[in-house]
Homo-oligomer: A and B are copies of this chain.
Amino acid sequence: MYNFEYKNPVKIVFGKGTIPNVVNEIPKNKKVLMTYGGGSIKRTGVYDQVKTALKDFDLLEFGGIEPNPHYETCMQAVELIRKEKVDYLLSVGGGSVLDATKFIAAAVLFEGSDPWDILDKPATSPVKAALPLGAVLTLPATGSEMNGNAVITRKATLEKKAFGSALVMPQFSILDPECVFTLPDRQVANGVVDAFVHVMEQYLTFDVNAPLQDRLAEAILTTLIEEGPKVLADRNDYQAAANFMWCATMALNGLIAVGVPQDWGTHLIGHELTAFHGIDHGRTLAIVLPGMMNLKRAGKKDKILQYGERIWGITEGSDQERIDATIARTIAFFESLGVPTTLPEYDVPAETIDKITFRFKESGMKFGEQRDIDYQTVEAILKDRL
């Protein structure tokens, strides 16, 4: 395996009835801004639980953060924070609210002229300070609760960009699996796919002799395949909800990525589908991953064969036949969750492929674990999904 460094100081508070513990995790003297999304936390009672727990705090609110959160929305929160001299952020919601909160935390203390640079020019505009933040997570999916990463969309230009900094890792994340009980099928399915593809981005690359990391990744994949359908079948199955929730966190807390190459090409391409058509993030991954596996079947061969054998029991046929069967099995899994995997099923026209290909051509980027995915590969991957 490669040399690596790993440090993850996020405190996880996990289990039923743990939301009121939020009062123990925020320092007493803080002026807190609670961030949230479209208001589902009011319907589910999470909002009331948090408000009651923090009744003795100086607590402000900022709601209305959208899925694939907008830079423009975040900047409104930044303004409020500066005006009100808030010094602690509490994200109450799913990964979008938390990603927005991370960006807000960094943007408030950003010293340059334009906080968009945090996302657009990470090499020259690194995060040097951020407000402390904590999270109450209501939706297992993104893994944002145990890392320092965030993805933000600029509404004006339809650009979707990511940044990462240890300074925006939550100081704590409260994970109550009972939050899963009130999720619609679509969000559960998206969450399972999102967590699954997070693992794949760190696992389905090339072998560097890191068998423990491989098996940890496979442990998460197997458990998602087992528990995801249980959650969909019975939303009140607490144990299935808990197992799904912990899988989603473990999928992206950095641990399975230590010492191994990473891809993230499926995410980069998927982000464009969200930017142009507003397709749910998890669903874009279900579209792109099979195309990625198909087009990168040479570079990823050993790992696709290992994944097919260990996860799906595929051992018969030539290497190419096994790879075909493994891609088909992966597609079938996503579809079994109710998540379509082709572009026409989302009414994406062929010209979108041209637009996305053009963007990657303009950027000149090469990405993936071997830095060999260029705009032509992107075009081929997307055409594979027509």
> Do residues A212 and B3 form an inter-chain contact, with CB atoms below 8 A?
no
**Interfacial chain B residues near A10, Cβ < 8 Å:** 7
The answer to whether A330 has its CB under 8 Å from any CB of chain B is no
Q: Encode contact with B along A11-36: 1 for CB under 8 Å, 0 otherwise.
A: 11111111000000000000000000
A13 to B243, CA, bound (A): 30
A18 to B1, CA, bound (A): 14
22 examples of A-B residue contacts, CB within 8 angstroms: A1-B243, A1-B246, A3-B17, A4-B12, A5-B13, A5-B14, A6-B14, A7-B9, A7-B10, A8-B9, A15-B259, A211-B222, A211-B226, A211-B227, A211-B243, A212-B243, A212-B250, A215-B218, A215-B222, A215-B223, A216-B219, A218-B219
Counted per complex, copies of this chain come to: 2
> Do residues A209 and B12 form an inter-chain contact, with CB atoms below 8 A?
no
Nearest neighbor of A246 in chain B, beta-carbon distance: B212
A212 to B245, CA, bound (A): 11
Interface class of chain A by DSSP: mixed
A11 to B254, CA, bound (A): 13
A189 to B246, CA, bound (A): 33
A13 to B9, CA, bound (A): 15
A243 to B12, CA, bound (A): 27
Question: Which residue from B215, B239, B243 sits with its C-beta under 8 Å from A219?
Answer: B215
- The 5 A-B residue pairs whose C-beta atoms are closest, nearest first, are A3-B15, A215-B219, A9-B9, A7-B11, A209-B239
> Do residues B3 and A12 form an inter-chain contact, with CB atoms below 8 A?
no
The answer to whether A53 has its CB under 8 Å from any CB of chain B is no
Nearest neighbor of A177 in chain B, beta-carbon distance: B1
> Do residues B219 and A14 form an inter-chain contact, with CB atoms below 8 A?
no
Nearest neighbor of A2 in chain B, beta-carbon distance: B15
Q: Which of A204-228 contact B (CB under 8 A)?
A: 209-212, 215-216, 218-220, 222-223, 226-227
